[in-house]
Structure 1
Amino acid sequence: MRDKSDRNAQGRIVAEVALVIYPDCQLSAIYGLTDLFRLAVTAAHVAGERDTPIIRITHWQDMGDGVACTYDSHPGNPHRAQYIIIPPSLIMPNDLPSMQGLAGWMTRNHEQGAILCSVCAGAFVLAETGLLEGREVTTHWAFADSLRARFPKVKVDADRIIADDGDIITAGGILAWTDLGLTLVQRLLGASAMLQTARFLLIDPPRQAQRPYSSFIPKLDHGDAAIRAVQHWLPAHVAAEWSVKMLADRAGMEERTFLRRFKAATGLRPTEYVQQIRIARAREALELTRRPVEQIAWEIGYGDPSAFRKLFIRITGLPPAEYRRRFGVARHAPADAPVQI
């Protein structure tokens, strides 16, 4: 990997990732994620991207009179955080002070479309927003009972490394910031940049079965909260049966109104949007596993492998088998074996 700063790469900023510094947080996660995202941009540049996507990295801290930016990799542009990450804590979660200032700041950004993320005990800070109520989240196994006791309406599953609920992503384990970081790299820059970053850092790809879509980057900053809620629901239920009426009911609209507003907000019809999400998930499975194409098709909601292949070719330009031959990294591993870099 060439030592080329993302400041010098020619490209466009595709997302601002905001890292939150709070009392006694794990600073190695803050600076490790900062470096990971910069290396990922370099990986995308080395891969030959003509219009290299840039990840803007910012650090934020409650200064007492408000939450302020203390570091900005690309200063000069108005802030619009697409992802906010709460790092682990170096003290026991029960000793963490209340952080209502940060909670209010995160809530306001979430209302503007930001996806909120936490690592390990960072889930306790994130839970103060109230946005985790009724959600499935993860944290370090040793803190799971404390999280349940302190926030009884939160559904804690400490067996998962990554719990992706669309607009809320939580990671378990004090070093799971690498899993979360690579998960976001794959979402923003694609699987190739994620794998190149993992190789360079000598770490495994994200240790989770359900990774987010990679190359398809949905438009979330359109300001239509009802449509955005549907967008957040869809990736977490990629194989579910759906209809326009069901999605319209979730948004609290008549079907005709929903179709008009969904297209205006996302640029796609609901059918096209769901296809993009499903094919992105299929691409990931083809790249990182040896599961049969028919099984992958079924897992993302297509009972007819022939129809799946036609759609895959239409969206990617390649048949699934050819796509795997070109981009797969698990060609010689057992079908369900984790990928080793």
Structure 2
Amino acid sequence: MSDLPKSVRIGLVAYRGAQKAALYGLADVFDVAARHASENGAGRTLVQAIVPAEDPETLDLAGHDILILPPNLSGARGAADTALRAALRRRHAEGAVIASVCAGAFWLGHAGLLDGRPATTQWLLEDEFREAFPKVRLATERILIDDHDIVTAGGIMAWIDLGLHLVARTLGSEVASLTMRHLLIDPVGREQRNYRSFRPVLGHGDDRIRQLQLQMEQAPEGDWRVAAMADRAGMSERTLARRFAGATGLTPNAYVRNLRIEKARGLIENSRLPVAGIAEAVGYSDLSAFAKTFQEITGLTASAYRKRFALGA
């Protein structure tokens, strides 16, 4: 490590609407990490600074090795922040690592830094982000993606994951472990799909498809094969499949899988029913098929999900 700089300078970009908890929380994480690095002879340290970025006239991102765009709580998406976007492009071209959390990824997208690259953002923003930046290889099931000079993190509180990741990347895993233990946090191994909810589209205007959806909500354990759905809707299977996908964005089978697992999540969180009973309640007669589907969609086994999210745990 002798050829590496002794100090890594991190700039926390305080643009308009930036989440203050992320700005000051990241500052604390890096300060704690720097202290442990010093006490344990790591040979390097972190120097953090909150960088004012609301006024284009005084904006200055120079001197920072890593720049972090925190979440945004105002609903803005960075399209109008031309000075900040230009400064980010310039610093990236000069060799700085650029990172974002949650909606902060929109600023990177508008700066043209994500085209053709893997990235993540808050899963609730997926449709909006894909529409704005179709060239980005978006993976919202991931909570953090390190693409070397660009690092993106998902949900609003994923600044914790990003902060610890950057500590490990710059100061090593031992300092990262000491920092986690000091702060009593351990986000390692999380994925956004652990938290993601299925939100059916109902405002599409196709009344017959919407009636099917409402019937599924009331009885997810029912017979929801395509043939049965087509019979209920009074149309051919081919027409049903086409109209259903056009209205909801999902094939009928994919919709049923997602709806049933969402219902199962709720039962796991709010009841003490055994997993086998929950599987049956949402329409799975084969427990192994339920277990496989649940883990594919949520990233966790049903028992691990209950341990983490059960409201009465």
TM-score band, normalised by shorter chain? 0.5 to 0.7
| In structure 2, distance between residues paired with 1:53 and 1:144 | 37
2:59 to 43, 53, 67: 67
| In structure 1, distance between residues paired with 2:157 and 2:21 | 10
Secondary structure, counterpart of 1:176 in structure 2? helix
Q: Which residue is 1:278 aligned to?
A: none
| In structure 2, distance between residues paired with 1:68 and 1:107 | 13
| In structure 1, distance between residues paired with 2:121 and 2:76 | 11
Relative distance call for 1:85 and 1:207 in structure 2 (3 A) is farther
Relative distance call for 1:41 and 1:183 in structure 2 (3 A) is same
5+ residue gaps, structure 1: 1-11, 70-78, 210-336
Q: Which residue is 1:200 aligned to?
A: 182
Structure with greater Cα Rg: 2
Is the CA contact (8 Å cut-off) linking 1:158 and 1:172 kept in structure 2? yes
| In structure 2, distance between residues paired with 1:85 and 1:143 | 19
| In structure 1, distance between residues paired with 2:35 and 2:51 | 24
Q: Which residue is 1:213 aligned to?
A: none
Per-residue displacement from partner, 1:147-186 (whole Å, max 9, x unpaired)? 1111111121100011111111100010000100000100
Normalised by the length of structure 1, the TM-score is 0.52
Per-residue displacement from partner, 1:221-248 (whole Å, max 9, x unpaired)? xxxxxxxxxxxxxxxxxxxxxxxxxxxx
> Does the alignment pair 1:174 with 2:174?
no
Secondary structure, counterpart of 1:60 in structure 2? strand
Per-residue displacement from partner, 1:10-47 (whole Å, max 9, x unpaired)? xx742110110111110110111111101001112333
Q: CA deviation at 1:80?
A: 2.5
5+ residue gaps, structure 2: 192-303, 305-313
Q: Which residue is 2:69 aligned to?
A: 86
| In structure 1, distance between residues paired with 2:79 and 2:15 | 10
Report the AA paired with residue 47 of structure 2.
R
Is the CA contact (8 Å cut-off) linking 2:17 and 2:76 kept in structure 1? no
| In structure 2, distance between residues paired with 1:206 and 1:122 | 21
Normalised by the length of structure 2, the TM-score is 0.56
Secondary structure, counterpart of 2:169 in structure 1? helix
Secondary structure, counterpart of 1:81 in structure 2? coil
| In structure 1, distance between residues paired with 2:38 and 2:58 | 36
Q: Which residue is 2:31 aligned to?
A: 38
Is the CA contact (8 Å cut-off) linking 2:122 and 2:156 kept in structure 1? yes
Q: Which residue is 2:100 aligned to?
A: 118
| Structure with greater helix percent | 2
Report the AA paired with residue 19 of structure 1.
L
Identity, in percent, stands at: 39
Q: CA deviation at 1:133?
A: 0.6
